[in-house]
Amino acid sequence: MSPSKNNLWHQNARASLKEANSCNEFFQTDVFENQSFPIKIPLEFANLIDKDNPNDPLLRQVISSKSKLKDPEFSLSPLEDDRHSPVSGLIHKYPNRVLLIASRVCAIHCQYCFRQNFDYQQHDAISNWIQVENYIINNSQINEVILSGGDPLSLSDDKLELLIGNIEKIKHIKTLRIHSRSAVVTPSRITDKLADILNNSKLSVVLVLHTNHMRELSEQFASVVNKLDGITLLNQSVLLKGVNDSLESLSTLSLRLFSLGILPYYLHLLDKVSGTEHFLVSDKRAKQLHKELKANLSGYLVPKLVRDKNTESKVWL
Ligand code: SF4
């Protein structure tokens, strides 16, 4: 029996590339190695990669072999999430908003990820929901809940509906923000049911996508993103050497995002996680690129250049 449109993404997730040999065979290369941060590449993303280009910017993001460069500034966990976590699964840094770790699962494993060594067992907002809910209820200055992970859109539509319904019941919450990469790398995730849940929420919903390169915004994505016409769409990127560290790459990304109704929001400097040294763009180069972007694009197309200090804590450059 063929899967319904609402369930196709589950089937696509199961078909993701997850092992070095199959990746090396698929991409006709030998650069993949099995590592502690496992490989995961959805076929919808893998099929966008130019197999004839060993430096393809999409391929570079998922190659699992770690950097041979060793820099003492890089550590297993550069962000101190625990210091701002009053209850498991919830991070509270700024008075008006909290971030929930809603899922440990991602549609893709980005090899520059700052959470690749994160202890998700200690941070699970769903299994600790009663405590999380009580914390939010007892802190009436909180008006925004951010769903993060992992990727919150790796939850099923039914689980997401239940979670959002529970958040909507808390009277002082007005805004729901969702951080997701899966909507871009697996466009089949944007189901009709998901669109209904988000478009018809009582809350103001902001979906912050994570896209690093214009080619990730495929025709398939373009054909489904317009279902999300009742919410605000923003994008955040990570500035990555060999992926998007040029004026042309960043400009075309901003223009493509805007043509799809998505505003560029943040351009993050790399979080210094061990093994990701080869992705680092220096501060000096990052500031130069940002200056060139400002000179070449309208202001609303220029993302803010930021460095994460802690989860939900940013320094503008
Ligand atoms: S989707 Fe986000 S959390 Fe998941 S691996 Fe990529 S960067 Fe990390």
User: Which atom from ligand 1 is nearest to the alpha carbon of 112?
Assistant: 7
Residue 215 forms part of a structural domain: yes
CA–CA separation, 206 and 202 (whole Å): 12
Q: Tell me the best of 115, 180, 189 to mutate to test the pocket of ligand 1, counting ligand atoms within 8 Å of each CB and taking the most.
A: 115
Q: Tell me the best of 91, 113, 114, 207 to mutate to test the pocket of ligand 1, counting ligand atoms within 8 Å of each CB and taking the most.
A: 113
CATH of the domain at 253: 3.20.20.70
Domain that holds residue 50: 8-62
Residue 300 forms part of a structural domain: yes
- Distance in Å, CA 258 to ligand 1 centroid: 23
pLDDT of residue 3: 63
- Distance in Å, CA 90 to ligand 1 centroid: 18
Number of domains composing the chain: 2
Residue 104 CA to its chain's centroid (Å)? 12
pLDDT of residue 75: 78
Average pLDDT, the chain: 93
Residue 137 forms part of a structural domain: yes
Lining ligand 1 with CB less than 6 A are 106, 108-110, 113, 115, 149-151, 181, 210
Residue 171, amino acid: K
Q: pLDDT by residue (tens digit) across 112-121?
A: 998 887 777 7
- H/E element holding 267? strand 263-268
For residues 119 and 19, membership in a common domain is answered with no
Distances (CA, A) of 145 to 67, 84, 168: 36, 15, 10
pLDDT at 313 over 60: no
For residues 52 and 107, membership in a common domain is answered with no
For residues 158 and 265, membership in a common domain is answered with yes
Q: What is the mean pLDDT of residues 300-307?
A: 96
- Distance in Å, CA 276 to ligand 1 centroid: 14
For residues 163 and 257, membership in a common domain is answered with yes
Q: 233: pLDDT confidence band, cut at 50, 70 and 90?
A: very high
For residues 124 and 231, membership in a common domain is answered with yes
For residues 241 and 292, membership in a common domain is answered with yes
- Distance in Å, CA 182 to ligand 1 centroid: 9
Residue 152, amino acid: P
Distances (CA, A) of 239 to 35, 196, 306: 23, 33, 10
Q: 154: pLDDT confidence band, cut at 50, 70 and 90?
A: very high
Residue 67 forms part of a structural domain: no
For residues 158 and 248, membership in a common domain is answered with yes
For residues 152 and 248, membership in a common domain is answered with yes
pLDDT at 1 over 70: no
